[in-house]
Every structure is written in structure tokens, then in C-alpha cells.
């Protein structure tokens, strides 16, 4: 699926909890050396030194709300002017109703239509595309796309399983859960003006890889799942490599045309490979994985908020999520 866009990013916001937890401390807690894995493994191999962990009583919507308030302020848009709220997180407050309703209520977006959309770490990019479609049809003027990822609860659940196993295979299966971090991200999206906004976006999904990274609640309580991160990362890089020529052709860009590359970030290795796929210098591809970990669907908005482009800059965005789904997008900020 591909299309030319009709919207622009009017404002972007992020929320990062204050509590810092190092990768080394997590590996020490699970006693990784039992499996022949040094406590520096995540830090050294994935480049993830630490991540932020939210307070126990903080809901996913709380992080989305704080990020949304920052995005609204950045855009100079009143909550009452928001026509659509799309919440895109893996984590939600409830099974029902949609978490977007709590975001709408707390920020005061009384007239907004609300719903949730979820597609693993790729959800935010899907949310932007849906908001763009509503704007293209003329049904709305302002959309708020937001997420709040409290992935630490998954991390701590699988840490308990690692502590209670002596199986190296199970340790490897669950190790990827220790790379995540909590965050909120949001964007206010409006109709694009001449020369700015989303120029083109292309999506691709390959469902045969769905079982490489999954988790679910067990009937008896707790979680089950696995995260085969090396195979996921290789597949994501391969998919992006297969798309990049068409992306540049559709955008009428070359590797030197983009000012910034913003990628979904699972760690150092895949990110470095994606920079090579784009044909860009690493200096133009800011990272968040080093001190924040894998932020799931919040990665792209947090990265843009922390490493802010100038108005008129060209942004190349590589999205990805388990399943596997990927996208490439070009926009003028």
C-alpha cells in the first residue's frame, strides 16, 4: 500500500519518566552469567545503556496525555480544536473502552472522535496514515495521534520467568524483553500547506513472521511469548532494503536529499544497517535507543521531539513493528 499525503506535522511532543534503570542492573537481577551471558551484553551488543521506567500507578494514557499536551502547545492548537484522537499504543488502559477516550477527556478535546489503533511498534505510523486519510477526505482539520507505552510490565514479567528457568534456550527467547523502555509520544496533524507535509508513504506487511515476536496474557495469569530479535531485525532490514529505491523514486529524492532519517530503533546493530540502507551518514540519523531503549510505538514521535528538525527540513522515516510490518515515508517538516 502506498499513497501521497495531505497532512503536515503541526506539533510534536514526548514524555519520558524520570526513573532510570540500567541494562547492567537488569542482567544482574536475572543472573545472566548462569547462561554464559555477561551482564554487559545488552549494553555492549545492543548499545542500550539504560531505559526509563514509569511509576507503578502510571497508566499508558497518562504518558500519552503528557506527550499530547506538549504536542498541542508546540502546535499552538487548543484541545477544543482537535477533531480526531487516535491512540496507537501496544499498551492500553483497558480492553474497552478505547484508551483514546480517556486522552480526549483529560486534555479537553470535547468535540473529537476517538478510537484506538494498534499494530505493535508500527502503530504510530499507521495512526498518522489514518489521520492523513481523514484530513484528505475533508472530514477534519486537526488530528491528535498519540501513544503511551508501559512496556516495563512486559519486561518485568519475563524477567521473573528468566529467574525461574535454567534453560539457555528460554533465556535467549525472552532476552529481547529486557531492551524496552517506557515513554509517551504525540503529534498534532493538520492539512498540509504548499510545499510542506507528508509527500509519500509506502507500507508492507509479511504476516508469516508473526511468531518471531509475540506475547499474550495466559488464562491462569502472567504472560507468555517470545522475542527472536536477531531474526526480526534481519527481516526488517531486508524489507527496508527492498523498498528504498522505489521510495526515493516516488519522492524524487536521492540519499543526499533528506536532512534527517528517523528509524524505529530496537538497538545499535539494526539501526546502523538501516542507515546504510538509506545511504545516509550516521550524523543525520539520531538515536534514542542508547538511553531510552526500544520505545515501541513511541519511538518515532519521541525521536523527532528530542532531535527536532527545522521547518522546511526533509524527513525520511523508517517504521517497523513485529508481525512484520514496515513503512517508509518522506515529508517536509
Instruction: Report the pLDDT value the prediction gives residue 130, as an integer from 0 to 100.
Output: 97
Q: Locate 243 and state its grid cell.
A: 523498498
**38 and 141 inside one domain:** yes
**54 and 72 inside one domain:** yes
**146 and 222 inside one domain:** no
Instruction: Report the pLDDT value the prediction gives residue 149, as an integer from 0 to 100.
Output: 98
Is the residue at 184 inside a domain?
yes
Question: Using 50, 70 and 90 to split pLDDT, how confident is the model at 330?
Answer: very high
Q: Is the pLDDT of residue 3 over 80?
A: no
- Mean of all residue pLDDT scores within the chain: 95
Question: Using 50, 70 and 90 to split pLDDT, how confident is the model at 191?
Answer: very high
**169 and 233 inside one domain:** no
**239 and 149 inside one domain:** no
Q: Return d(Cα 109, Cα 101) in angstroms, integer.
A: 10
**309 and 223 inside one domain:** yes
| Bridge partners, 197 (sequence order) | 332
Domain limit, last residue, from 156, 190, 224: 190
**153 and 201 inside one domain:** no
Least confident among 160-169, 225-234, 244-253:
225-234
Q: Is the pLDDT of residue 2 over 80?
A: no
211 lies in which domain range? 193-332
Q: The domain that contains 213 carries what CATH number?
A: 3.40.47.10
Domain limit, last residue, from 152, 167, 190: 190
Instruction: Report the pLDDT value the prediction gives residue 10, as an integer from 0 to 100.
Output: 97
Question: Using 50, 70 and 90 to split pLDDT, how confident is the model at 150?
Answer: very high
**Domains: count for the chain:** 2
Q: Return d(Cα 198, Cα 244) in angstroms, integer.
A: 17
Q: Return d(Cα 113, Cα 80) in angstroms, integer.
A: 12
Averaged over 302-315, what is the pLDDT? 97
Percent of the chain with pLDDT over 70: 100
**87 and 216 inside one domain:** no
Question: Using 50, 70 and 90 to split pLDDT, how confident is the model at 223?
Answer: confident
**234 and 281 inside one domain:** yes
pTM: 0.95
pLDDT in tens, 119-135: 999 999 999 999 999 99
Q: Which residues contact 17 (CB under 8 A, 6 or more apart)?
A: 52, 53, 54, 55, 58, 63, 182, 183
**87 and 231 inside one domain:** no
Is the residue at 1 inside a domain?
no
Q: Is the pLDDT of residue 222 over 80?
A: no
Averaged over 180-203, what is the pLDDT? 94
Give yes or no for a contact between 73 and 115, defined as CB atoms under 8 angstroms apart: no
Give yes or no for a contact between 79 and 72, defined as CB atoms under 8 angstroms apart: yes
Instruction: Report the pLDDT value the prediction gives residue 78, as an integer from 0 to 100.
Output: 98
Question: Using 50, 70 and 90 to split pLDDT, how confident is the model at 224?
Answer: confident
- Between the alpha carbon of residue 311 and those of residues 11, 118, 196, 267, 314, the distances in Å are 11, 29, 9, 28, 9
Instruction: Report the pLDDT value the prediction gives residue 216, as an integer from 0 to 100.
Output: 85
Amino acid at each position: 500500500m502506498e499513497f501521497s499525503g495531505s497532512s503536515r506535522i503541526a506539533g510534536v511532543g514526548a514524555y519520558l519518566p524520570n526513573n532510570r534503570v540500567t541494562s547492567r542492573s537488569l542482567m544482574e537481577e536475572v543472573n545472566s552469567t548462569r547462561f554464559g551471558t555477561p551482564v554487559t551484553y545488552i549494553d555492549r551488543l545492543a548499545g542500550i545503556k539504560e531505559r526509563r521506567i514509569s511509576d507503578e500507578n502510571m497508566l499508558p494514557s497518562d504518558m500519552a496525555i503528557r506527550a499530547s499536551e506538549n504536542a498541542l502547545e508546540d502546535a499552538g492548537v487548543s484541545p477544543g480544536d482537535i477533531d480526531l484522537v487516535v491512540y496507537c499504543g501496544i499498551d492500553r488502559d483497558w480492553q474497552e473502552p478505547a484508551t483514546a477516550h480517556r486522552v480526549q477527556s483529560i486534555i479537553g478535546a470535547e468535540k473529537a472522535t476517538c478510537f484506538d489503533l494498534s499494530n505493535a511498534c508500527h502503530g504510530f505510523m499507521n495512526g498518522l496514515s489514518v489521520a492523513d486519510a481523514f484530513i484528505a477526505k475533508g472530514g477534519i482539520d486537526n488530528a491528535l495521534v498519540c501513544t503511551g507505552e508501559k512496556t516495563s510490565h512486559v519486561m518485568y514479567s519475563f524477567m521473573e520467568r528468566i529467574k525461574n528457568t535454567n534453560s539457555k534456550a528460554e533465556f535467549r527467547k525472552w532476552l529481547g524483553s529486557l531492551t524496552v523502555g517506557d515513554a509517551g509520544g504525540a503529534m498534532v496533524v493538520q492539512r498540509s500547506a504548499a510545499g510542506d507535509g507528508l509527500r509519500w508513504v509506502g507500507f508492507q506487511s509479511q504476516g508469516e513472521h508473526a511468531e518471531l515476536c509475540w506475547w499474550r496474557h495466559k488464562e491462569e495469569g502472567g504472560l507468555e511469548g517470545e522475542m527472536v530479535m536477531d531474526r526480526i531485525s534481519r527481516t526488517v532490514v531486508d524489507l527496508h532494503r527492498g523498498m528504498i529505491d522505489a521510495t526515493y523514486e516516488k519522492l524524487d529524492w536521492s540519499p543526499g536529499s533528506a536532512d534527517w532519517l528517523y528509524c524505529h530503533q530496537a538497538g545499535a546493530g539494526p539501526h546502523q544497517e538501516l542507515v546504510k540502507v538509506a545511504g545516509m551518514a550516521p550524523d543525520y540519523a539520531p538515536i534514542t535507543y542508547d538511553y531510552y531503549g526500544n520505545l515501541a510505538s513511541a519511538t518515532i514521535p519521541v525521536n523527532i521531539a528530542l532531535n527536532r528538525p527545522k521547518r522546511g527540513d526533509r524527513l525520511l522515516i523508517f517504521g517497523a513493528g513485529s508481525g512484520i510490518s514496515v513503512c517508509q515515508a518522506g515529508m517536509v517538516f
